[in-house]
Amino acid sequence: MSLFISNAYAQAAPAGQQSGGFEMLIMLGIFGLIFYFMLYRPQAKRVKEHKNLISSLSKGDEVLTQGGLVGRITKVSDDKDFMEIALNDSTNIVVQKSAVSAVLPKGTMKNI
């Protein structure tokens, strides 16, 4: 039967280096550092800046909400997480403090 096909025999493994777990730990450490510097650290910095922004809000500040509304803060409640924003002379809305994305320079509403 094996007239045209030669038999294939398994060869012994070469006596080379055995890759140990130390190289895997080094690679895992490198990926951990990349994850920390590329993802975690910038996000933590943004969260800290947003908390500082929220804590510094006061009456009379002109703000931009995440929904794109521009208004002036008329009432801030310290015990609750809500504030009242005047969009114009007759329209007031109540939003959460965390919905504010930026504090605008004074006079921005007049220029819009």
Is 30 inside a domain boundary?
no
Among 112, 52, 58, CA closest to 84: 58
Is 13 inside a domain boundary?
no
Is 79 inside a domain boundary?
yes
Domain interval for residue 78: 57-111
Helix, strand, coil content of the chain in percent (nearest 5): 40, 25, 40
The two three-digit tokens of residue 81, written as one number: 């997480």
Is 49 inside a domain boundary?
no
Is 19 inside a domain boundary?
no
How sure is the predictor about 104, in pLDDT bands with cuts at 50, 70 and 90?
A: very high
CATH number, domain containing residue 95 = 2.30.30
DSSP H or E segment with residue 62 = strand 62-65
Is 85 inside a domain boundary?
yes
At 26-84, the pLDDT tens digits run: 999 999 999 999 999 999 999 999 999 999 999 999 999 999 999 999 999 878 899 99
**d(C-alpha 19, C-alpha 26), whole Å:** 12
Is 99 inside a domain boundary?
yes
